[in-house]
């Protein structure tokens, strides 16, 4: 069984990259950010507080991984709410357990998130840490919003990216950081195609061993 762990900050391009990799190798893919987002959305929908760890953990334990809808969960406000409940250890324990079960699927899996190589799958076959400068990530997110017909202010998007980075890297439980044996992939100067081909070379080399 093969597990590919892909971590990195918000808007680094790891989602697109992970989906392409899963498709190329015929593996199951889980965007673990969606599990935090779905938990946050369930709380918001039911009018429950975002700062009660016991309630949030209870919702996390009852989450159905098969019903995660990326289009619905990608809303900006849900991402913000997700990063707030993601600091809670009991929420993380519940979601990590479900993520580990997913990671055991045959013939292989690709999981992307913040703590896959460090906490969820420390024995993953290959670990990638995908990053890009905060400015480039903000620019990509801004372009995405505009391309989708929305309106945005670049400075506000940049601030969002910085705030999310600070929260994800600064939390006590499972902070975002590269695993010791992760391959670093800086996509600042890369197209999606170039990033995919660089990732594929790293994975192919690791699968040969």
Which ranges of the chain would DSSP assign to H, the alpha helix? 14-25, 32-45, 53-61, 70-73, 76-85, 89-103, 134-147, 154-170, 192-208
Q: Which of 37, 137, 141, 183 binds ligand C5P (CB under 6 A)?
A: 37
User: Among 20, 21, 33, 41, which residue sits at the site for ligand C5P (rule: CB under 6 A)?
Assistant: 33
For the bound state, the minimum distance from the C-beta of residue 29 to ligand C5P, rounded and expressed in Å, comes to 13
| Residue 88 interacts with ligand C5P (CB under 6 A): yes or no | no
Closest Cα to residue 201, out of 177, 186, 183, 187?
183
Interaction between residue 8 and ligand C5P (CB under 6 A): no
Question: Does residue 41 bind ligand C5P (CB under 6 A)?
Answer: no
Q: Is 32 in the site for ligand C5P (CB under 6 A)?
A: yes
> Of the candidates 96, 106, 102, which has an alpha carbon nearest to the alpha carbon of residue 2?
106
Residue from 21, 43, 115, 183 that binds ligand C5P (CB under 6 A)?
115
Question: Footprint of ligand C5P on residues 10-29 (CB under 6 A)?
Answer: 10
Burial of 209 (0-12, 13-18, 19+ CB in 10 A): exposed
Beta partners for residue 186, in sequence order: 131
Judged by CB under 6 A, does residue 160 bind ligand C5P? no
Q: Any residues with CB less than 8 A from the CB of 82 and at least 6 apart, and which?
A: 33, 36, 37, 39, 40
Residue in 63, 113, 126, 138 binding ligand C5P, rule: CB under 6 A: 113
Among 3, 18, 39, 83, binds ligand C5P (CB under 6 A): 83
Question: Bridge-partner residues for 113, per DSSP?
Answer: 7
The least CB distance from residue 141 to ligand C5P, in Å, is 10
Q: In the complex, which residues of this chain contact ligand C5P (CB under 6 A)?
A: 10, 32-33, 36-37, 79, 82-83, 86, 113-115, 164, 168
């Amino acid at each position: 069984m093969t597990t590919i762990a892909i971590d990195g900050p918000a808007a680094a391009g790891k989602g697109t990259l992970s989906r392409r990799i899963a498709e190329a190798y015929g593996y199951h893919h889980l965007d673990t950010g969606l599990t935090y987002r779905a938990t946050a959305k369930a709380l918001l929908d039911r009018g429950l507080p975002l700062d009660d760890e016991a309630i949030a953990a209870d919702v996390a334990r009852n989450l159905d991984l098969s019903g995660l809808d990326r289009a619905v969960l990608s809303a900006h406000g849900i991402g913000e709410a997700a990063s707030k409940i993601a600091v809670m250890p009991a929420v993380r324990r519940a979601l990590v357990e479900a993520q580990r079960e997913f990671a055991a699927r045959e013939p292989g899996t690709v999981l992307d998130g913040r703590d896959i190589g460090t906490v969820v799958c420390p024995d993953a076959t290959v670990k990638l840490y995908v990053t890009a400068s905060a400015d480039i990530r903000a620019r990509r997110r801004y372009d995405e919003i505009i391309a989708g017909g929305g309106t945005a202010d670049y400075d506000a998007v940049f601030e969002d990216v910085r705030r999310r980075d600070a929260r994800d890297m600064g939390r006590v439980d499972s902070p975002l950081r590269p695993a010791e044996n992760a391959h670093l992939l800086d996509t600042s100067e890369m197209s999606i195609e170039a990033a995919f081909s660089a990732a594929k070379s790293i994975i192919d080399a690791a699968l040969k061993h």
